[in-house]
Amino acid sequence: MIEHDVVCPFCGCLCDDLELETEEGKIVKVQNGCALAESTFMNDVRLPAPIRRTETGWEDISYTEAIKETAEILQGADRPLLYGWSSTHVEAQSIGVHIAELIGAVIDNTSTVCHGPSILAIQEVGHPGCTLGQVKNRADVIIYWGCNPVEAHPRHMSRYTTYATGFFVPNAQLERTVIVVDTRRTDTAGIADEFVQIEHGGDYAVLSALRAIVRGKTSVIPAKIAGVSKEQLIRIVEICKTAKFGAIFFGLGLTMSRGKYKNIRNAIELTDELNRHTKFVISPLRGHGNVYGSNEVFTWMTGYPFAVDFARGIAFYNPGETTAVDILRRGECDAALIVASDPGANFPRDAAAHLAKIPTVIIDPHVNATTALSRIHIPCTAAGIDAAGTAYRMDGVPIRLKKVIDRGYMDDAEILKKIYDHLNGGKGP
Amino acid sequence: MKCILNTGRTVPQGAYVEHKGSDAYRSVASAGFLNPVDMMMLGIEDGDRIRVTTPAGHIVLTARPAEGVARDEIFVAIGPYANHVISSETHGTGMPDFKSQSADVEPTKEPLKSVGELMEALGGLHYDRT
Amino acid sequence: MTELWVKNACVIDPIRGINGEIMDIAIRDGRIVESVSDRADVIDAQRCLTLPGGIDSHTHVSGTKVNFGRYMSPEDMRAGRTKRKGKMHVTSGYYVPTTFGNSYRYSAMGYTTLLEGAMAPLEARHTHEEFTATPHQDMMANTLFDGNWAVMDAVREKDIRKTAAVVAWTLKAARGYGIKLTNPGGTEAWGFGEDLTGIHEMVPHFAVTPAEIITTMIRANELLKLPHSVHLHCNNLGKPGNYQTTLETFDIVPDLNPARQTLYATHVQFHAYGGGTWKNISSKAEEITRSVNIKPQIVMDMGQIMFGRTMTMTADGPMEFNLHCLHHNKWSNHDVELETGSGIIPVTYSKKSAVNCIMWAIGLELALLTKNPYQCLLETDNPNGAPFVKYPEIIGLLMSKRYRDEECATLATGVEQRTSLFALERELDWHDIAVMTRAGQAKALGIVNQGKGHLGIGAEADIAIYPIRTDSVDPAREYRKVVEGFQKTRYTIKRGRVVSREGEIIVDGANATFWVDAKVPEDLKMENDPEFIKRFEQFYTVRMSNYPVQDVYLPRGRRIETEVFT
């Protein structure tokens, strides 16, 4: 059987034009997808049943037992941490928020180690953006800054930017100028019309120089800024100012390097500045398929996109304090529920190590590094493969992930709902 | 060699991200990409092992040459190998220094660890039945 | 079967011509009935003011733009936060509260039905997800068509039937309620950083004018027999001298529907400015109301501003950028491919600013100078003019000249000469307020026959009982009591159930979402139109099959089907 217009749940592009061939409840072929999509659908090896760590090894347990023990762990904790959420659907995410509210937990999502700094910057200066179709149909200048879509978002360029045919840009490849800014000469840099190689930690200075040139203060710029020549900077400003529609996409090269959210703030303010000359937009390249959905859900339910602490009864937000890495680093939490993510692999070692010291439960379809650090691992459906639900694309467009096959697993939303019911004396959220 | 540890996503890392126990994942996540000139200075070849030390700890990686990596930089795909030597300090932002950890790189003969071994070093217990 | 008996209610129900009668109301299974058994629960209203549940016909409470307002404003989240308590979830925010915050605070004020003012069809799923988390009000969503490429193509071809067909397809796909035009044509121009300055200016690349979009959409709306009229945010919002654009727009509106208006003009305060610069801006409320008073085909809402901090958010992207250039605070913009734009910036309306004072005066003037209260509804374009929790103060101002005088005395200098407010003696009465906060909205939205906005037999039992005794309060003098009374109902009853008592929510909500399934002849269905499909697949970034909102997003969807036109 062929399924058309399937949505790939892997990255924030949420490409929705995949064709999947299924045979007897198995996916046998993926068309239109990138290598990441192919791997997501084809090499989907699951943990077969819930497991619990014993003194000497691992034992299989029932879902009922796993859910009950998870609820008891959370119930008994003084400062539980609920972390992850980015690879599942909105339905599970919202039950997660309800659990956190009920037990006074800290709830955080993976943007904390991804675009958390972008959110901090947006909270200072706002976000001039748009949906990806605006870029596809209009943009004649594309800037990729501190990101590597060839590796991280392989179809971003063909679906939305460089190679995408747009209404006002019928000959995409000829009509679009691509600028890549990075410390490394990545594969993305290889296709750039202009590649700007910045010294490590030099982003902020280069952004400031560009803003100065846009404002006509060229004379204050020295001959070289963070390894970039003044001539090149002037050339880039010229390209931007004469663009009909320019779009900046940025990645972890800005959020994780020195300056962090200040880099993003500067990039947004450059965009603002350029809007006084032409049309310019800026957008983060969001990583996980539904990380933006977790920000959206957290926001409409609690008021904050990530790092929400319910310990005081109200929703409290203070990144740097209520963010997952900091809570773990300080050894503050005494239980953790990890959903649809892998902090064991993605957090610095001290933070990850604390997970092994406390009762940690992970709900995730796959065995991952966090499994080893956990007391219980409960497998579940994978949103977009054997479970349907909402995911928010990196530009905020909500798309319904499809259930393509049935593998007999319980939906994580259902598992979480049962945990909630346990915690709430049998009553649902 | 003193350098900056830079991390990021790669296609193979993403493709094997749900197979962290696999040899393929180990090979992509434990590769340390260096500028060929730096490799020459260190006297190492493609495939040799290197020891990366930071204030947070040390890790053994496999050296790989990459023209795109700047001098005095080592690039490692995001994942448990890179994170084994990254400090959890966030400077009040929630975000560790994933792209600007200062590190020391030297040749070594020590063996490469598996993801399971890394997690066991943190107090975990490897699960290997899938 | 659940039954409720509300006795000794002082009812004002304008749609049924009831004005302050003491009566009993019988409710069974969520609807108003002739009588109930003696097993019914009883509420003694103690002769308090009892009105049909409040209806907001233009508010921004759910969806992409509203949520981005929250996302970018932790400072506002901290400005209003409550703990989990009983059935109430945690809430955060003052001018852009969380969904539960919106729902609880509206409910405490007796509001039971809300129309989200702007939903981009591409992002409709988001709006519906937030609707389900706004549990104490029935919801509906104005659907944005101001920069819709397929609409503009049909308008250029002067094809009303095709225009109607695009509207019908899109409303169904978005599960939307009615047509919203925000700065028609201007949001498309903003795609390349431009704006339009008048209703006869061409939209770049599309060769249509706002006037053509407005009139064609009005005719398409009536051809489709949609319950609501076209809902228009006029061009040139917030620009000195824009009243002329507004009057020109009103002048091209035909009178096509005997049951309701043909055009709903929203937040008209922002469109009633004289002068040519911020220095000489003045009120043109008299000119605007003179036009509306002789045009029964037009209903407007006030778009009242109130002093203090709030957040402006609209699909009108270019306007927000202009405002940003004045305020230099944070600015967000979010254009939506092939459909519309949007922008968000925080603002503070200050009594020290003569411009803000004039804006404040204009909204009140509009309400006081409009003869028929059904033609000027009470709204702040929440949260643009002020958060909705300010409605009771606006009611107080409209009912009391003394209250207005006291406020006017605190305004910046030079305001009196540029508005007529200081001279207006009119004081609205309880009946006027009931019209301007529920009956008028129900009529304008076309939901009277859905059982909204009145308390007749068969109506939905949405009722607000305020702690106000109209026989013993003189609103002109005791306006404080009026304001307090409207801030917190004694009881808010939603579909026959008490949901809020003295401002506290006591049940989990279960709202409904109204949407319109407009029927078109078989040969006009866009899902069969090869050209429409081709353009869709080429220029949108989602597949056409993934675009429509699935029924699962409307757990209690109420489909309103229209008759097919010929």
Report chain C's mean pLDDT, rounded to a whole number: 97
- Residues in chain A with CB shorter than 8 Å from the CB of B89 are 329
A165 shares its domain with A269: yes
Enclosing H/E stretch for C170: helix C160-174
Please give, rounded to a whole number of angstroms, the shortest distance from the CA of A154 to a CA of chain B. Answer: 8
Q: Do chains C and A touch (3 or more CB pairs under 8 A)?
A: yes
A128 shares its domain with A276: yes
Size of interface A-C (CB pairs under 8 A): 175
A274 shares its domain with A226: yes
Distance between CA atoms of residues A381 and A391, nearest Å? 15
DSSP secondary structure, C204-247, as one string: TTT---HHHHHHHHHHHHHHTT-SS-EEEE-TTTT-TTTHHHHH
Domain with B17 in it: 2-121
Distance between CA atoms of residues A188 and A249, nearest Å? 12
Using CB atoms, pick whichever of A128, A131, A390 lies closest to residue C332.
Answer: A128
A178 shares its domain with A198: yes
Please give, rounded to a whole number of angstroms, the shortest distance from the CA of B31 to a CA of chain A. Answer: 15
Structural domain count of chain B: 1
The CATH number assigned to the domain holding B97 equals 2.40.40.20
A182 shares its domain with A229: yes
Which token pair is A18? Answer: 């995949």
Report yes or no on A297 lying in a domain: yes
Q: How many CB atoms lie within 10 A of CB A24?
A: 7
How many residues make up chain B in this entry?
Answer: 130
Using CB atoms, pick whichever of A151, A189, A258 lies closest to residue B11.
Answer: A151
Least CA distance to A129: which residue of chain C? C334
Determine the 3-state secondary structure of B123 from DSSP.
coil
C410-468 residue pLDDT tens: 999 999 999 999 999 999 999 999 999 999 999 999 999 999 999 999 999 999 999 99
C197-234 residue pLDDT tens: 999 999 999 999 999 999 999 999 999 999 999 999 99
Q: Do chains B and A touch (3 or more CB pairs under 8 A)?
A: yes
Greatest distance between any 2 Cα atoms in chain B: 43
Greatest distance between any 2 Cα atoms in chain A: 71
Please give, rounded to a whole number of angstroms, the shortest distance from the CA of B62 to a CA of chain A. Answer: 18
Contacts of A171 (CB under 8 A, 6+ apart): A165
Enclosing H/E stretch for A363: strand A360-363
Least CA distance to A319: which residue of chain C? C74
Determine the 3-state secondary structure of C111 from DSSP.
strand
A170 shares its domain with A183: yes
- Provide mean pLDDT across the span C346-352: 96
pLDDT over 80 at B28, yes or no = yes
Distances from the Cα of B117 to the Cα of A60, A243, A366, A372, B26, angstroms: 22, 52, 18, 10, 11
pLDDT value, residue C143: 98
- Residues in chain A with CB shorter than 8 Å from the CB of C133 are 94, 300-301
C367-424 residue pLDDT tens: 999 999 999 999 999 999 999 999 999 999 999 999 999 999 999 999 999 999 999 9
Contacts of A172 (CB under 8 A, 6+ apart): A162, A163, A164, A165, A166
A102 shares its domain with A139: no
AA identity, residue A273? E
Report chain A's mean pLDDT, rounded to a whole number: 96
Determine the 3-state secondary structure of B102 from DSSP.
strand
- Residues in chain C with CB shorter than 8 Å from the CB of A281 are 333, 335
The CATH number assigned to the domain holding A77 equals 3.40.50.740
- Residues in chain B with CB shorter than 8 Å from the CB of A350 are 56, 87-88
C150-202 residue pLDDT tens: 999 999 999 999 999 999 999 999 999 999 999 999 999 999 999 999 999 99
Using CB atoms, pick whichever of B66, B83, B93 lies closest to residue A346.
Answer: B83
Contacts of C172 (CB under 8 A, 6+ apart): C515, C516, C517, C518, C548
Which token pair is C248? Answer: 């020109």
Using CB atoms, pick whichever of A36, A43, A320 lies closest to residue B11.
Answer: A36
- Residues in chain A with CB shorter than 8 Å from the CB of C189 are none
Report yes or no on B83 lying in a domain: yes
Least CA distance to C205: which residue of chain A? A168
Q: Is C331 on the interface with A (CB under 8 A)?
A: yes
A239-289 residue pLDDT tens: 999 999 999 999 999 999 899 999 999 999 999 999 999 999 999 999 999
- b/e B31-44 (16+ beta carbons within 10 angstroms → b): bbbbbeebbeebeb
Q: Is C82 on the interface with A (CB under 8 A)?
A: yes
Mutation site, A103, A131, A140, A159, interface C, largest C CB count within 10 A: A131
Mutation site, B75, B93, B120, interface A, largest A CB count within 10 A: B93
Using CB atoms, pick whichever of A137, A313, A400 lies closest to residue C337.
Answer: A137
Kindly give the residue spans of alpha helices, DSSP state H, lying in A219-374: 230-241, 252-255, 261-274, 291-302, 324-329, 343-346, 349-357, 369-373
A275-302 residue pLDDT tens: 999 999 999 999 999 999 999 999 999 9
Greatest distance between any 2 Cα atoms in chain C: 68
Q: Could you tell me whether strands C18-28 and C31-33 are parallel, antiparallel, or unpaired per DSSP bridges?
A: antiparallel
Radius of gyration (Cα) for chain A, nearest Å? 23
Q: Is C286 on the interface with A (CB under 8 A)?
A: no
Contacts of C37 (CB under 8 A, 6+ apart): C3
Share of chain A above pLDDT 90, in %: 96
Least CA distance to A5: which residue of chain C? C543
Distance between CA atoms of residues A128 and A123, nearest Å? 12
A301 shares its domain with A394: yes
Q: How many CB atoms lie within 10 A of CB A425?
A: 6
pLDDT value, residue A429: 64
Using CB atoms, pick whichever of B6, B94, B116 lies closest to residue A116.
Answer: B94
Report yes or no on A29 lying in a domain: no
A134 shares its domain with A256: yes
Q: Is A217 on the interface with B (CB under 8 A)?
A: no
- Provide mean pLDDT across the span C345-365: 97
CB contact under 8 A, A397 and C541: yes
Report yes or no on B117 lying in a domain: yes
Which token pair is A224? Answer: 């070289």
A210-224 residue pLDDT tens: 999 999 999 999 999
A397 shares its domain with A279: no
CB contact under 8 A, A133 and C539: yes
Using CB atoms, pick whichever of B14, B90, B122 lies closest to residue A373.
Answer: B122
Using CB atoms, pick whichever of A7, A133, A165 lies closest to residue C546.
Answer: A7
Domain assignments of chain C as residue spans, ordered by start: 54-64+139-449
| Residue A173 pLDDT level (bands cut at 50, 70, 90) | confident
Which token pair is C360? Answer: 């404040």
Question: Residue C197's closest CA among C252, C139, C157, C244?
Answer: C244
Report yes or no on A278 lying in a domain: yes
CB contact under 8 A, B88 and A351: yes
Enclosing H/E stretch for C57: strand C54-59
A314 shares its domain with A179: no
Which token pair is A61? Answer: 């347990």
C70-123 residue pLDDT tens: 999 999 999 999 999 999 999 999 999 999 999 999 999 999 999 999 999 999
- Residues in chain B with CB shorter than 8 Å from the CB of A120 are 93
A87 shares its domain with A167: no
0.90 cut: is pTM over it?
yes
Report yes or no on A105 lying in a domain: yes
The CATH number assigned to the domain holding A167 equals 3.40.228.10
CB contact under 8 A, C92 and A303: yes
Strand locations in B37-79 (E): 49-54, 57-65, 73-77
Backbone angles phi, psi at A397, to 5 degrees: -80, 120
Please give, rounded to a whole number of angstroms, the shortest distance from the CA of B43 to a CA of chain A. Answer: 22
DSSP conformational letter for C89: P
Determine the 3-state secondary structure of A315 from DSSP.
coil
Structural domain count of chain A: 2
Residue with tokens 């459909």: C339
| Residue B68 pLDDT level (bands cut at 50, 70, 90) | confident
Please give, rounded to a whole number of angstroms, the shortest distance from the CA of A383 to a CA of chain B. Answer: 14
Strand order in the sheet with A245-250: A194-197, A177-182, A141-145, A245-250, A279-284
Which token pair is C414? Answer: 């030079």
Bridge partners, residue C331, by sequence = none
| Residue A428 pLDDT level (bands cut at 50, 70, 90) | low
| Three-point CA angle A287, A356, B84, nearest 5° | 55
- Provide mean pLDDT across the span B48-75: 95
Distance between CA atoms of residues A193 and A171, nearest Å? 16
Domain with A376 in it: 47-113+289-423
pLDDT value, residue B130: 56
